[in-house]
Structure 1
Amino acid sequence: MDHEHRLADQWLVSWPLCGLDLFKWGRLKAKDSEAEDHRGFPAKVYFSTSHCSSGCTLGDAFGVPIVTLTGFTILSTTLFAHYAVQFTLAYLFGILFQFFAIYPMNKDAGVMKNLKNSIKADTLSLILFEVGMFGWMALVHYVIFAEPPKPHQMNYWFMMQIAMIFGFLTSYPANWWLVKKGIKEEM
Protein backbone atom coordinates (compact mmCIF):
# COMPACT_ATOMS: atom_id res chain seq x y z
CA MET A 1 0.00 0.00 0.00
CA ASP A 2 1.49 3.36 -0.94
CA HIS A 3 2.03 6.30 1.39
CA GLU A 4 -1.00 8.31 0.20
CA HIS A 5 -3.39 5.40 0.79
CA ARG A 6 -2.03 4.82 4.29
CA LEU A 7 -2.53 8.50 5.16
CA ALA A 8 -6.05 8.41 3.71
CA ASP A 9 -6.87 5.35 5.85
CA GLN A 10 -5.54 7.15 8.92
CA TRP A 11 -7.74 10.19 8.25
CA LEU A 12 -10.76 7.99 7.53
CA VAL A 13 -10.43 6.39 10.97
CA SER A 14 -9.60 9.42 13.13
CA TRP A 15 -12.00 12.06 11.83
CA PRO A 16 -15.22 10.00 12.18
CA LEU A 17 -14.30 9.23 15.79
CA CYS A 18 -13.98 12.96 16.52
CA GLY A 19 -17.26 13.54 14.69
CA LEU A 20 -19.07 10.98 16.84
CA ASP A 21 -18.03 12.86 19.98
CA LEU A 22 -19.27 16.10 18.49
CA PHE A 23 -22.54 14.48 17.42
CA LYS A 24 -23.11 12.97 20.86
CA TRP A 25 -22.19 15.92 23.07
CA GLY A 26 -21.70 18.98 20.91
CA ARG A 27 -24.95 19.18 18.95
CA LEU A 28 -27.16 19.86 21.98
CA LYS A 29 -26.18 23.50 22.26
CA ALA A 30 -25.96 24.02 18.51
CA LYS A 31 -29.52 22.79 17.87
CA ASP A 32 -31.22 24.99 20.44
CA SER A 33 -29.41 27.47 22.64
CA GLU A 34 -32.36 27.41 25.06
CA ALA A 35 -32.35 23.62 25.39
CA GLU A 36 -31.63 22.20 28.80
CA ASP A 37 -28.11 20.86 28.92
CA HIS A 38 -28.07 17.38 30.45
CA ARG A 39 -24.39 16.80 29.90
CA GLY A 40 -22.42 16.43 33.08
CA PHE A 41 -19.55 18.67 34.13
CA PRO A 42 -16.92 16.21 32.80
CA ALA A 43 -18.46 16.39 29.30
CA LYS A 44 -18.48 20.20 29.40
CA VAL A 45 -14.83 20.21 30.44
CA TYR A 46 -14.14 17.69 27.67
CA PHE A 47 -15.37 20.21 25.11
CA SER A 48 -13.48 23.07 26.73
CA THR A 49 -10.37 20.90 26.49
CA SER A 50 -11.19 19.99 22.87
CA HIS A 51 -11.50 23.68 22.05
CA CYS A 52 -8.06 24.31 23.54
CA SER A 53 -6.70 21.24 21.76
CA SER A 54 -7.93 22.44 18.38
CA GLY A 55 -5.72 25.54 18.54
CA CYS A 56 -2.76 23.45 19.64
CA THR A 57 -3.34 20.88 16.92
CA LEU A 58 -3.62 23.53 14.23
CA GLY A 59 -0.40 25.17 15.42
CA ASP A 60 1.35 21.82 15.41
CA ALA A 61 0.02 20.93 11.96
CA PHE A 62 1.29 24.23 10.51
CA GLY A 63 4.56 24.14 12.46
CA VAL A 64 5.80 20.77 11.23
CA PRO A 65 6.05 21.78 7.55
CA ILE A 66 7.63 25.12 8.44
CA VAL A 67 10.45 23.43 10.35
CA THR A 68 10.79 20.68 7.76
CA LEU A 69 10.88 22.96 4.73
CA THR A 70 13.26 25.50 6.30
CA GLY A 71 15.62 22.97 7.89
CA PHE A 72 15.42 25.03 11.10
CA THR A 73 17.24 23.56 14.10
CA ILE A 74 17.90 24.62 17.69
CA LEU A 75 20.95 23.16 19.44
CA SER A 76 21.56 21.05 16.32
CA THR A 77 18.22 19.25 16.52
CA THR A 78 14.95 19.67 14.70
CA LEU A 79 13.04 18.46 17.77
CA PHE A 80 13.70 21.70 19.67
CA ALA A 81 12.91 23.70 16.54
CA HIS A 82 9.59 21.86 16.31
CA TYR A 83 8.93 22.66 19.96
CA ALA A 84 9.61 26.39 19.47
CA VAL A 85 7.68 26.83 16.23
CA GLN A 86 4.78 24.59 17.17
CA PHE A 87 4.37 26.13 20.61
CA THR A 88 4.40 29.65 19.18
CA LEU A 89 1.82 28.82 16.53
CA ALA A 90 -0.30 26.75 18.93
CA TYR A 91 -0.33 29.65 21.38
CA LEU A 92 -1.36 32.14 18.71
CA PHE A 93 -4.11 29.88 17.34
CA GLY A 94 -5.26 28.92 20.85
CA ILE A 95 -5.61 32.52 21.99
CA LEU A 96 -7.31 33.45 18.73
CA PHE A 97 -9.82 30.57 19.08
CA GLN A 98 -10.46 31.51 22.70
CA PHE A 99 -10.94 35.16 21.78
CA PHE A 100 -13.57 34.29 19.18
CA ALA A 101 -15.36 32.14 21.77
CA ILE A 102 -15.31 34.86 24.46
CA TYR A 103 -15.81 38.05 22.45
CA PRO A 104 -19.36 37.34 21.15
CA MET A 105 -20.54 36.70 24.72
CA ASN A 106 -18.99 39.89 26.10
CA LYS A 107 -18.71 42.50 23.32
CA ASP A 108 -19.31 45.37 25.76
CA ALA A 109 -15.98 44.67 27.49
CA GLY A 110 -14.08 45.59 24.34
CA VAL A 111 -11.37 43.92 22.34
CA MET A 112 -8.44 44.37 24.75
CA LYS A 113 -10.33 43.11 27.82
CA ASN A 114 -11.57 40.09 25.88
CA LEU A 115 -8.06 39.45 24.57
CA LYS A 116 -6.72 39.58 28.14
CA ASN A 117 -9.47 37.17 29.26
CA SER A 118 -8.61 34.86 26.35
CA ILE A 119 -4.97 34.76 27.38
CA LYS A 120 -5.97 34.14 30.99
CA ALA A 121 -8.41 31.38 30.01
CA ASP A 122 -6.18 29.45 27.63
CA THR A 123 -2.54 29.86 28.64
CA LEU A 124 -2.36 27.20 31.37
CA SER A 125 -4.31 24.56 29.46
CA LEU A 126 -2.36 25.28 26.28
CA ILE A 127 1.00 24.96 28.05
CA LEU A 128 -0.05 21.68 29.64
CA PHE A 129 -1.31 20.35 26.30
CA GLU A 130 2.07 21.06 24.75
CA VAL A 131 3.91 19.54 27.76
CA GLY A 132 2.05 16.26 27.26
CA MET A 133 2.52 16.34 23.52
CA PHE A 134 6.17 17.35 23.57
CA GLY A 135 6.94 14.82 26.30
CA TRP A 136 5.63 12.02 24.10
CA MET A 137 7.50 13.32 21.08
CA ALA A 138 10.72 13.40 23.11
CA LEU A 139 10.20 9.73 23.95
CA VAL A 140 9.58 9.02 20.27
CA HIS A 141 12.65 10.99 19.28
CA TYR A 142 15.10 9.68 21.89
CA VAL A 143 13.76 6.38 23.26
CA ILE A 144 11.21 4.55 21.11
CA PHE A 145 12.93 4.76 17.71
CA ALA A 146 16.62 4.25 16.97
CA GLU A 147 16.19 6.89 14.27
CA PRO A 148 13.28 9.29 14.82
CA PRO A 149 10.57 9.20 12.14
CA LYS A 150 10.47 12.08 9.68
CA PRO A 151 7.39 14.17 8.82
CA HIS A 152 7.11 12.54 5.39
CA GLN A 153 6.64 9.12 7.04
CA MET A 154 3.31 7.78 8.23
CA ASN A 155 4.64 6.65 11.61
CA TYR A 156 5.60 10.27 12.38
CA TRP A 157 1.97 11.37 12.04
CA PHE A 158 0.74 8.33 13.93
CA MET A 159 3.09 9.27 16.78
CA MET A 160 1.79 12.86 16.55
CA GLN A 161 -1.77 11.61 17.01
CA ILE A 162 -0.70 9.73 20.13
CA ALA A 163 1.10 12.88 21.26
CA MET A 164 -2.13 14.86 20.87
CA ILE A 165 -3.93 12.31 23.05
CA PHE A 166 -1.27 12.85 25.73
CA GLY A 167 -1.68 16.60 25.28
CA PHE A 168 -5.42 16.27 25.78
CA LEU A 169 -4.90 14.16 28.91
CA THR A 170 -2.40 16.59 30.46
CA SER A 171 -4.57 19.64 29.71
CA TYR A 172 -7.90 18.17 30.88
CA PRO A 173 -7.21 18.70 34.62
CA ALA A 174 -6.17 22.31 33.95
CA ASN A 175 -9.37 22.90 32.00
CA TRP A 176 -11.37 21.33 34.83
CA TRP A 177 -9.80 23.77 37.28
CA LEU A 178 -10.16 26.78 34.93
CA VAL A 179 -13.84 26.05 34.29
CA LYS A 180 -14.52 25.33 37.98
CA LYS A 181 -12.95 28.68 38.96
CA GLY A 182 -14.90 30.54 36.26
CA ILE A 183 -11.74 31.62 34.43
CA LYS A 184 -12.78 29.64 31.36
CA GLU A 185 -16.28 29.04 30.01
CA GLU A 186 -17.65 25.54 29.94
CA MET A 187 -18.62 24.40 26.48
Structure 2
Amino acid sequence: MIVQPTWLVMLSWAVLFVGLASTAVVVVDQFVFGYRQPVKVMEIVWPATALYLGPAAVLAYRRWGRPQSPRWLDRHGNPPRSSRHAPTIIQTYHCATHCTLGVIIATPITYGVGLEIFGSTLWPEVVGDYVGAVAIGVAFRYSAEAHTGRRRAWAAMRKFFRSDVLTVSVFELALLGWLALMHFLVFHEALRPGSPVFWLIIQVGLIIGFFAAWPPTSLLIRRGVKTELLGTPQ
Protein backbone atom coordinates (compact mmCIF):
# COMPACT_ATOMS: atom_id res chain seq x y z
CA MET A 1 0.00 0.00 0.00
CA ILE A 2 1.26 3.47 -0.91
CA VAL A 3 1.90 5.86 1.97
CA GLN A 4 1.35 9.31 0.51
CA PRO A 5 3.08 12.30 2.13
CA THR A 6 0.71 14.57 4.01
CA TRP A 7 1.85 17.61 2.04
CA LEU A 8 1.02 15.85 -1.24
CA VAL A 9 -2.44 14.88 -0.04
CA MET A 10 -3.13 18.44 1.14
CA LEU A 11 -1.82 19.88 -2.14
CA SER A 12 -4.04 17.48 -4.06
CA TRP A 13 -7.14 18.52 -2.12
CA ALA A 14 -6.28 22.20 -2.65
CA VAL A 15 -5.82 21.80 -6.41
CA LEU A 16 -9.02 19.77 -6.69
CA PHE A 17 -10.90 22.46 -4.76
CA VAL A 18 -9.60 25.21 -7.06
CA GLY A 19 -10.64 23.21 -10.13
CA LEU A 20 -14.12 22.48 -8.80
CA ALA A 21 -14.58 26.08 -7.62
CA SER A 22 -13.53 27.39 -11.04
CA THR A 23 -16.00 25.07 -12.72
CA ALA A 24 -18.74 26.26 -10.36
CA VAL A 25 -17.99 29.89 -11.26
CA VAL A 26 -18.50 29.17 -14.96
CA VAL A 27 -21.62 27.05 -14.43
CA VAL A 28 -23.26 29.69 -12.21
CA ASP A 29 -22.43 32.43 -14.71
CA GLN A 30 -24.00 30.46 -17.54
CA PHE A 31 -27.07 28.97 -15.89
CA VAL A 32 -27.85 31.31 -12.98
CA PHE A 33 -26.75 34.69 -14.35
CA GLY A 34 -28.00 33.77 -17.82
CA TYR A 35 -24.87 34.03 -19.97
CA ARG A 36 -25.84 31.04 -22.09
CA GLN A 37 -23.64 30.04 -25.00
CA PRO A 38 -25.02 30.20 -28.57
CA VAL A 39 -23.16 26.94 -29.34
CA LYS A 40 -24.64 24.68 -26.67
CA VAL A 41 -21.72 22.27 -26.55
CA MET A 42 -19.57 25.14 -25.25
CA GLU A 43 -21.69 25.10 -22.09
CA ILE A 44 -19.94 21.81 -21.41
CA VAL A 45 -16.53 22.77 -22.79
CA TRP A 46 -15.96 25.82 -20.60
CA PRO A 47 -16.79 24.15 -17.24
CA ALA A 48 -14.84 21.01 -18.19
CA THR A 49 -11.80 23.13 -19.07
CA ALA A 50 -12.00 24.87 -15.70
CA LEU A 51 -11.70 21.49 -13.96
CA TYR A 52 -8.02 21.23 -14.87
CA LEU A 53 -6.97 24.77 -15.89
CA GLY A 54 -8.75 26.41 -12.96
CA PRO A 55 -8.69 30.22 -12.83
CA ALA A 56 -6.90 30.40 -16.21
CA ALA A 57 -9.97 28.82 -17.81
CA VAL A 58 -12.27 31.24 -15.96
CA LEU A 59 -10.28 34.17 -17.36
CA ALA A 60 -10.45 32.69 -20.87
CA TYR A 61 -14.19 32.18 -20.48
CA ARG A 62 -14.68 35.77 -19.32
CA ARG A 63 -12.68 37.04 -22.29
CA TRP A 64 -13.93 34.79 -25.10
CA GLY A 65 -16.92 32.77 -23.88
CA ARG A 66 -19.13 35.15 -21.95
CA PRO A 67 -19.09 37.88 -24.67
CA GLN A 68 -20.60 35.35 -27.13
CA SER A 69 -23.77 34.99 -25.06
CA PRO A 70 -26.97 36.76 -26.21
CA ARG A 71 -27.27 38.37 -22.76
CA TRP A 72 -23.81 39.96 -23.03
CA LEU A 73 -24.41 41.08 -26.63
CA ASP A 74 -27.76 42.67 -25.69
CA ARG A 75 -26.03 44.70 -22.99
CA HIS A 76 -22.75 45.61 -24.66
CA GLY A 77 -23.15 45.20 -28.41
CA ASN A 78 -20.35 43.61 -30.39
CA PRO A 79 -17.90 41.40 -28.47
CA PRO A 80 -14.33 42.70 -28.00
CA ARG A 81 -11.68 41.77 -30.54
CA SER A 82 -10.17 38.41 -29.77
CA SER A 83 -6.54 37.38 -29.84
CA ARG A 84 -5.27 35.74 -33.02
CA HIS A 85 -4.54 32.70 -30.85
CA ALA A 86 -8.16 32.45 -29.64
CA PRO A 87 -9.42 30.06 -32.36
CA THR A 88 -6.60 27.59 -31.72
CA ILE A 89 -6.93 27.76 -27.95
CA ILE A 90 -10.71 27.37 -27.95
CA GLN A 91 -10.63 24.48 -30.42
CA THR A 92 -8.00 22.79 -28.26
CA TYR A 93 -10.32 23.28 -25.27
CA HIS A 94 -13.06 21.68 -27.34
CA CYS A 95 -11.09 18.53 -28.19
CA ALA A 96 -9.56 18.39 -24.71
CA THR A 97 -13.07 18.22 -23.28
CA HIS A 98 -13.61 14.92 -25.10
CA CYS A 99 -10.60 13.53 -23.26
CA THR A 100 -11.48 15.13 -19.93
CA LEU A 101 -14.97 13.67 -19.88
CA GLY A 102 -13.61 10.36 -21.15
CA VAL A 103 -11.29 10.18 -18.14
CA ILE A 104 -14.01 11.17 -15.67
CA ILE A 105 -16.44 8.56 -17.01
CA ALA A 106 -14.16 5.67 -17.99
CA THR A 107 -11.66 5.67 -15.11
CA PRO A 108 -14.09 4.86 -12.25
CA ILE A 109 -15.67 2.17 -14.44
CA THR A 110 -12.39 0.41 -15.27
CA TYR A 111 -11.24 0.50 -11.65
CA GLY A 112 -14.68 -0.37 -10.33
CA VAL A 113 -14.89 -3.62 -12.29
CA GLY A 114 -11.24 -4.44 -11.57
CA LEU A 115 -10.02 -4.68 -15.16
CA GLU A 116 -6.34 -5.51 -15.69
CA ILE A 117 -4.15 -6.04 -18.75
CA PHE A 118 -0.74 -7.65 -18.23
CA GLY A 119 -1.38 -7.41 -14.51
CA SER A 120 -1.79 -3.63 -14.55
CA THR A 121 -4.80 -1.35 -14.20
CA LEU A 122 -3.07 1.35 -16.26
CA TRP A 123 -3.74 -0.18 -19.68
CA PRO A 124 -7.50 -0.70 -19.27
CA GLU A 125 -7.69 2.86 -17.95
CA VAL A 126 -5.90 4.21 -21.02
CA VAL A 127 -8.04 2.18 -23.44
CA GLY A 128 -11.22 3.22 -21.62
CA ASP A 129 -10.18 6.88 -21.62
CA TYR A 130 -9.51 6.85 -25.36
CA VAL A 131 -12.72 5.01 -26.26
CA GLY A 132 -14.65 7.39 -24.01
CA ALA A 133 -13.01 10.43 -25.62
CA VAL A 134 -13.88 9.22 -29.13
CA ALA A 135 -17.48 8.42 -28.14
CA ILE A 136 -17.95 11.84 -26.55
CA GLY A 137 -16.33 13.55 -29.53
CA VAL A 138 -18.76 11.85 -31.91
CA ALA A 139 -21.65 12.74 -29.58
CA PHE A 140 -20.60 16.40 -29.61
CA ARG A 141 -20.50 16.37 -33.41
CA TYR A 142 -23.85 14.58 -33.50
CA SER A 143 -25.43 17.35 -31.42
CA ALA A 144 -24.27 19.88 -34.02
CA GLU A 145 -25.64 17.91 -37.01
CA ALA A 146 -29.39 18.29 -36.53
CA HIS A 147 -29.78 19.59 -40.11
CA THR A 148 -28.50 16.36 -41.68
CA GLY A 149 -31.59 14.29 -40.80
CA ARG A 150 -31.23 10.54 -41.13
CA ARG A 151 -27.57 10.86 -42.11
CA ARG A 152 -26.82 12.68 -38.86
CA ALA A 153 -24.78 9.90 -37.24
CA TRP A 154 -22.67 9.36 -40.36
CA ALA A 155 -22.04 13.11 -40.71
CA ALA A 156 -20.99 13.34 -37.06
CA MET A 157 -18.52 10.46 -37.35
CA ARG A 158 -17.09 11.78 -40.61
CA LYS A 159 -16.49 15.24 -39.17
CA PHE A 160 -15.02 13.87 -35.95
CA PHE A 161 -12.53 11.61 -37.70
CA ARG A 162 -11.66 14.35 -40.17
CA SER A 163 -11.28 17.24 -37.73
CA ASP A 164 -10.83 15.92 -34.20
CA VAL A 165 -9.31 12.45 -34.07
CA LEU A 166 -5.70 13.64 -34.55
CA THR A 167 -5.95 16.15 -31.71
CA VAL A 168 -7.67 13.66 -29.41
CA SER A 169 -5.05 11.00 -30.19
CA VAL A 170 -2.13 13.34 -29.48
CA PHE A 171 -3.79 14.48 -26.25
CA GLU A 172 -4.35 10.89 -25.12
CA LEU A 173 -0.79 9.87 -26.04
CA ALA A 174 0.63 12.69 -23.91
CA LEU A 175 -1.70 11.76 -21.05
CA LEU A 176 -0.64 8.11 -21.36
CA GLY A 177 3.03 9.06 -21.20
CA TRP A 178 2.48 11.05 -18.03
CA LEU A 179 0.37 8.35 -16.36
CA ALA A 180 2.92 5.67 -17.28
CA LEU A 181 5.72 7.78 -15.81
CA MET A 182 3.82 8.20 -12.55
CA HIS A 183 2.71 4.55 -12.49
CA PHE A 184 6.03 2.84 -13.19
CA LEU A 185 8.73 5.29 -12.06
CA VAL A 186 7.28 7.40 -9.24
CA PHE A 187 4.67 5.44 -7.28
CA HIS A 188 5.54 1.90 -8.44
CA GLU A 189 2.00 0.88 -7.54
CA ALA A 190 -1.44 1.73 -8.83
CA LEU A 191 -3.12 4.69 -7.18
CA ARG A 192 -6.87 4.38 -6.80
CA PRO A 193 -9.57 6.89 -7.81
CA GLY A 194 -10.49 7.25 -4.13
CA SER A 195 -7.22 9.09 -3.53
CA PRO A 196 -7.00 12.86 -4.13
CA VAL A 197 -3.43 12.31 -5.36
CA PHE A 198 -4.80 10.15 -8.17
CA TRP A 199 -6.91 13.05 -9.41
CA LEU A 200 -4.06 15.53 -9.02
CA ILE A 201 -2.02 13.32 -11.34
CA ILE A 202 -4.96 13.22 -13.77
CA GLN A 203 -5.25 17.02 -13.66
CA VAL A 204 -1.56 17.48 -14.43
CA GLY A 205 -1.89 14.93 -17.23
CA LEU A 206 -4.80 16.85 -18.72
CA ILE A 207 -2.74 20.05 -18.71
CA ILE A 208 0.13 18.22 -20.43
CA GLY A 209 -2.33 16.78 -22.95
CA PHE A 210 -3.75 20.24 -23.64
CA PHE A 211 -0.36 21.70 -24.52
CA ALA A 212 0.53 18.62 -26.58
CA ALA A 213 -2.72 18.95 -28.55
CA TRP A 214 -2.23 22.66 -29.25
CA PRO A 215 0.23 22.31 -32.21
CA PRO A 216 -1.84 19.75 -34.17
CA THR A 217 -4.96 21.86 -33.62
CA SER A 218 -3.14 24.89 -35.01
CA LEU A 219 -1.94 22.83 -37.98
CA LEU A 220 -5.44 21.55 -38.77
CA ILE A 221 -6.85 25.09 -38.65
CA ARG A 222 -4.08 26.52 -40.86
CA ARG A 223 -4.55 23.78 -43.45
CA GLY A 224 -8.31 24.25 -43.54
CA VAL A 225 -9.11 20.80 -42.16
CA LYS A 226 -10.83 22.25 -39.09
CA THR A 227 -13.36 24.52 -40.74
CA GLU A 228 -16.13 24.57 -38.11
CA LEU A 229 -14.59 26.51 -35.24
CA LEU A 230 -17.31 25.91 -32.65
CA GLY A 231 -17.58 28.57 -29.97
CA THR A 232 -14.83 30.73 -31.45
CA PRO A 233 -15.30 34.53 -31.47
CA GLN A 234 -15.90 35.83 -34.97
- Taking structure 1 as the reference length, what is the TM-score of the superposition? 0.85
Q: Is the 1:63–1:86 Cα contact (8 Å) retained in structure 2?
A: yes
Query: What is the CA-CA distance between 1:21 and the residue it aligns to?
Result: 2.0
List aligned pairs for 1:122-161, cutoff 5 A: 122-161=164-203
Name the structure 2 match of 1:24.
63
Percent identity between matched residues is 24
- Which letter maps to 1:22? Y
CA contact (8 A) 1:132 1:169 kept: no
* Aligned CA distance change for structure 1 residues 114 and 98 (closer, same or farther; 3 Å): closer
- Report the residue type matching 1:151 in the other structure: P
* 2:81 alignment partner in structure 1: 38
Q: Secondary structure at the match of 1:152?
A: coil
C-alpha separation in 2, matches of 1:8 and 1:103:
39
Q: Distance in 2 between matches of 1:66 and 1:124?
A: 25
The residue that corresponds to 1:78 in the other structure is 121
Once the two structures are TM-superposed, the CA of residue 123 in structure 1 deviates from its matched residue by 0.4
Alignment coverage as a number of residue pairs: 182
Give the structure with the larger helix fraction: 1
Match of 2:107 in 1: 64
For residues 95 and 179 of structure 1, the distance between their equivalents in structure 2, rounded to whole angstroms, comes to 19
- Whichever residue aligns with residue 58 of structure 2, its letter is G
Task: Look up the equivalent residue of 1:56 and give its one-letter code.
Answer: C
Answer whether contact 1:132 1:163 (CA < 8 A) is retained. yes
* Structure 1: runs of 5+ lacking an equivalent: none
What secondary structure is seen at the aligned counterpart in 2 of 1:41? coil
Asked if structure 1 preserves the Cα contact closer than 8 Å seen for 2:145 and 2:155, the reply is: no
Identify which range, 154-163 or 175-184, moves more after superposition. 175-184
Q: Which amino acid aligns with 1:59?
A: G
The yes-or-no answer on 1:89 pairing with 2:132 is: yes
Cα deviations by residue, 1:67-125 (Å, 9 ceiling, x for unpaired): 1110001121110010111110111112222343x426xx2585133431122111000
Q: Which moved more, 1:82-91 or 1:28-37?
A: 28-37
Distance in 2 of aligned mates of 1:68 and 1:153: 12
2:126 is equivalent to residue 121 of structure 1: no
**Which residue of the other structure, out of 13, 20, 28, is the alignment partner of 2:18?**
13
